[in-house]
Amino acid sequence: LCSFIHSPKGFPKLKNDTFLRAARGEETEHTPVWCMRQAGRYLPEFRETRAAQDFFATCRSPKLCCELTLQPLRRFPLDAAIIFSDILVVPQALGMEVVMVPGKGPTFTEPLKEVEDLLKLRQKVDVTAELGYVFQAITLTRHSLEGRVPLIGFSGAPWTLMSYMIEGGGSTTMSKAKSWLYRHPEASHRLLRLLADVITDYLVGQVAAGAQALQLFESHAGHLGPEQFQGFALPYIRDIAQAVKSKLKEEALPLVPMIIFAKDAHYALRDLAHAGYEVVGLDWTIRPQEARAQIGKDVTLQGNLDPCALYAPKEKIGELVKKMLEGFGTQRYIANLGHGLYPDMNPDHVGAFVEAVHAHSRHINKH
């Protein structure tokens, strides 16, 4: 194991590059498909692997992350793997303590309350020292995949991470975090800039470790209106794409496709189309044709089946997938859900979704 963690070259040759081709806008025989949270609690084997482990201890174990990343690929013919990790490892790297509270979810023991609290954060983060365990997990997983499918790395986006750091956990209103944007705009920008710089280094490190695509999750975009999104989220989303690409060039690393997923940000689709990402991910609240009209033909779309559609009978899932493919078209498109898989979902229905995407897209392409 250790030998190739330090020299992550010599990776196995990629056998299925459908996902990467679609991301770059090249033609594909079928529409590629993967699922957000595909490594998760809906799989009994995931629950067994995770059972005795603290959540963040699992995140820090390259071996466990590798195993959890591979589990869904043993069951389903997915076209991509996404590394098992969590977006809150970035606030941890800044020196904040986050614990997973059963029944409540991730909780910050000391959230940011006042502007002075920003001084407690590490101002310079050595991502290899703080997040090297993620890089090791990526390298190990890339080898263990044996070239079956590409491996996606990811990070939370600055506004989403800032909102967690101030709220101290999940929130229905994000009122504490949003109040900073109104009361302390300068301090907010200081925090967002610090996060953007760390995220940039973190994403570049993931590519150096073997990630073949990157997704940025702006999961809390829906809490902002168009104006605040323009002011506090979009500039950093743009900066990250630009900075990651220029650093990859500087370091002679592969220029991997990048995906932006800003949940509930329909008001910003045109802006996101020009933010420097090859792929724009969509939640389930927008019609495929509308998204395509706003985003244009030069960017690949990803999404956007309502995750709850997987509770439907399998035949119904097939019909919904067919309709979705007809709406998006089978090219310049990556099928996915409009959000992550839920823990109580039936794995067979996930399989039905994946197979329906392959079958219907092949059929549409032939005719």
Q: What is the pLDDT of residue 9?
A: 67
From the list 127, 154, 156, 126, the residue with the least C-alpha distance to 138 is: 154
C-alpha–C-alpha distance, residues 154 and 160, integer Å: 13
> Could you give the 3-state DSSP secondary structure of residue 6?
helix
- Annotated catalytic residue within 17, 21, 42, 50: 50
What was the pLDDT predicted at 205? 98
- Does 164 participate in catalysis according to the annotation? yes
How many domains does one find in the chain?
A: 1
What pLDDT does residue 199 have? 99
Cα 364 → chain centroid: 28
Would 1 be classed as within a structural domain?
A: no
8 domain-assigned: no
Whether the CB-CB separation of 275 and 281 falls below 8 Å is answered with: no
Query: Could you tell me if residue 9 is inside a domain?
Result: no
Is 311 part of the annotated catalytic residue set?
Answer: no
Query: Is 332 an annotated catalytic residue?
Result: no
Tokens encoding 107: 């909780």
**55 located within any domain:** yes
pLDDT in tens, the chain (367 residues): 444 444 456 999 999 999 999 999 999 999 999 999 999 999 999 999 998 889 999 999 999 999 999 999 999 999 999 999 999 999 999 999 999 998 899 999 999 999 999 999 999 999 999 999 999 999 999 999 999 999 999 999 999 999 999 999 999 999 999 999 999 999 999 999 999 999 999 999 999 999 999 999 999 999 999 999 999 999 999 999 999 999 999 999 999 999 999 999 999 999 999 999 999 999 999 999 999 999 999 999 999 999 999 999 999 999 999 999 999 999 999 999 999 999 999 999 999 999 999 999 999 999 9
170: domain CATH number is: 3.20.20.210
Beta bridge partners of 241: none
Assigned domain for 297 exists: yes
Cα gap 139→173, rounded to integer Å: 38
Tokens of 353: 């979704």
> Of 346, 339, 355, nearest to 42 (Cα)?
346
Q: How far apart are CA 286 and CA 272, in angstroms?
A: 15
Catalytic entry in 21, 79, 142, 164: 164
State yes or no: is 17 an active-site residue.
no
* Residue range of the domain that includes 317: 17-366
**56 is a domain residue:** yes
Q: Rounded to an integer, what distance in angstroms lies between the CA atom of residue 19 and that of residue 30?
A: 10
Q: Are 81 and 136 in contact (CB under 8 A)?
A: no
Its pTM stands at 0.97
Q: Of 41, 190, 193, 362, which is the active-site residue?
A: 41
Pairwise CA distance, residues 20 & 25, whole Å: 9
Residues 21, 37, 292, 332: which is the catalytic one? Answer: 37
- The C-alpha angle with vertex 164 and arms to 259 and 174, in degrees rounded to 5, equals 100
**Cα–Cα distance for residue pair 275/253, rounded to 1 Å:** 21
In three-state secondary structure terms, 88 is: coil
Between the CA of residue 152 and those of 164, 206, 283, what are the distances in Å? 23, 9, 19
Helix axes 127-144, 185-209, angle to 10 degrees: 40
Give a yes or no: residue 6 inside a domain. no
Q: Is 50 a catalytic residue?
A: yes
Say if 307 falls within a structural domain.
yes
Q: Any alpha helices (H) in the chain, and if so which ranges? A: 2-6, 18-23, 44-50, 55-59, 62-75, 89-93, 127-144, 158-167, 175-183, 185-209, 226-228, 234-250, 269-273, 288-295, 314-328, 347-366
